[in-house]
Structure 1
Amino acid sequence: MNDSPLILREDAAGVTTLTLNRPQARNALSQAMLRALLAAFADIAADSSIRVVVLAGAGPAFCAGHDLKELRANDYSRDYTEALFADCAELMQAIVALPKPVIARVHGIATAAGCQLIATCDLAIATADSRFATPGVNIGLFCSTPMVALSRNVGAKQAMQMLLTGDLIDAPMAQRFGLINEIVAADDLLSRTAALAKQVASKSPLTLAIGKEAFYQQRQLSLADAYTYTREVMVANLQAQDAQEGIDAFIDKRTPVWCGR
């Protein structure tokens, strides 16, 4: 297992699946895994053939968060921890900035930075037996960086409940909180995620990129500024060939042919 790649990648029909591959460690995010993920997302960002990314975990869990054994092995040094959390922050921002939707395919546990990954992804589908937590408070290390993504996904009181108690929440509660989109049976996880990825991948890649960027940008603005910004986005979007092709196809009752421009 030590010789296995940290990230498995599979490309099919415009969808790339990235699988965290440290099953023996519940896919804990070592520094090497964080950097492997950063490299993978950089490659995907530059690959125009990829339209959607699915993020999954090998073995019995999605991701147990940062590798605590690695933290201890590095004697909790400031230099190591500063580099580790910088890599993690860079990864989360790379996922948001990626001009392609990212879907988390979740099973088992997703805790701490693993929960952060799910909150950072654009969509998430989870099995009915999945569990989620930001349990750092239980070991004296508050989940401050996971809090950034979590608090931007769920309500303030729901986020604080998770952060202050460290309790595991089940899939139905995670869905009520807004952390995940759908709950499926374990046997249906792969097929349902694939169907969703295929549906999203069928859209104009330019439109997906425009829409994803605009979504995250407008959330940071005041109401008036958000409308000013999105008005400008809509005007620019209408100049794109894909927007004009889509409107023409709708009026003409035919399937649009996207060119990505």
Structure 2
Amino acid sequence: MTASAEPLVHRYNENGITTLMLNQPERRNSLSMAMLEALSTELEFLAEDTSTRVVVLAARGNVFCAGHDLKEVRGELGNDEFQLALFNQCSKVMQQIVNLPRPVIARVAGVATAAGCQLVASCDLAVAADTARFATPGVNIGLFCSTPMVALSRNVSRKHAMEMLLTGEMIGALKAEKIGLVNRVVDEQVLDETVYSLARTIAGKSCHTLKIGKEAFYKQLEMPLSDAYEYTSKVMADNLKADDAGEGICAFLEKRHPDWKDS
């Protein structure tokens, strides 16, 4: 198989952990329209795939994702319909990640910039190699990172988000961990070990419970405090009706491992 015939996104599943691998390192895994459409297709599949318990989003090469394909963007200057469709498609993919009923972990090695940084921020969790770097550098080329700002500002404090957006400067992995963009920073030699250990831990939980919790987490974030408590109280009461809640409580009281039915 030639490089041109390879899929833009590789998907493989092992023991309930599905890895989506961005597979265009020669183009810095940029989010071209084709790459975004390929990602969207994979996420649509995973939304219905009962064999998947956790998703790992990774990338081949030394760049996780360089954001939009600027050659493509430049080639379509003046084509307002394409430009709007491109950013709408990118926004769709980010929302698919958030709305996916399975947890998504970003495995970040190398650079994640602009919409690539947005991709990391959109994942539920992120583990980075200590050599990883992040930036929203659109301001440097006269194109403010307005859509990356949505995910970034929902993950880090306003002042840290604004600093990244206004300066366009690269930050290291440790700074990204400090401001909440990533969960953990590890030596690149143990990146896979750390990511998949975390994935296995999560995969050992009830899928039904994780689905309920992930959906509730993002919904309550946008609510006033009293509304959030009212909503999550109902979520917990409904959650108690699930088979896995009953099994989990019994298993805890009986000091044994639960036998999840994912229902």
Query: Under TM normalisation by the shorter chain, which class is it?
Result: over 0.9
Provide, for residues 9-53 of structure 1, a one-character-per-residue CA deviation record: whole Å limited to 9, x for no partner.
110111100000110111001100100000000000101111100
Length-normalised TM-score, structure 1: 0.99
In the alignment, the residues of structure 2 paired with residue 180 and residue 187 of structure 1 have an alpha-carbon distance, to the nearest angstrom, of 18
Structure 1 residue 233: deviation in Å? Answer: 0.2
Provide, for residues 136-188 of structure 1, a one-character-per-residue CA deviation record: whole Å limited to 9, x for no partner.
00000000000000000000000000000000000110001100000011110
In the alignment, the residues of structure 2 paired with residue 243 and residue 252 of structure 1 have an alpha-carbon distance, to the nearest angstrom, of 14
Bigger mean CA deviation after superposition, 78-87 or 136-145: 78-87
In the alignment, the residues of structure 2 paired with residue 107 and residue 22 of structure 1 have an alpha-carbon distance, to the nearest angstrom, of 14
* Structure 1 spans left out of the alignment, 5+ residues: none
- Cross-structure match for 2:132: 130
Q: Which amino acid aligns with 2:56?
A: V
- Cross-structure match for 2:255: 253
Provide, for residues 210-240 of structure 1, a one-character-per-residue CA deviation record: whole Å limited to 9, x for no partner.
0000000000100000000000000000000
- Cross-structure match for 2:74: 72
Length-normalised TM-score, structure 2: 0.98
Partner of 1:62, secondary structure, is: strand
> Which of 151, 154, 157 is the equivalent residue of 2:153?
151
- Cross-structure match for 1:185: 187
1:88–1:107 CA distance, 2 compared to 1 (3 A): same
Work out the percentage of aligned pairs sharing the same amino acid: 56
> Which of 114, 117, 121 is the equivalent residue of 1:115?
117
Q: Which amino acid aligns with 1:28?
A: S
> Which of 63, 83, 94 is the equivalent residue of 1:61?
63
Report whether the alignment pairs 1:18 with 2:23: no
- Cross-structure match for 2:170: 168
Partner of 1:2, secondary structure, is: helix
Structure 1 residue 76: deviation in Å? Answer: 4.5
RMSD over aligned CA atoms reads 0.6
In the alignment, the residues of structure 2 paired with residue 62 and residue 27 of structure 1 have an alpha-carbon distance, to the nearest angstrom, of 7
Structure 1 residue 2: deviation in Å? Answer: 2.1
- Cross-structure match for 1:221: 223
Q: Which amino acid aligns with 2:9?
A: I
Structure 1 residue 249: deviation in Å? Answer: 0.1
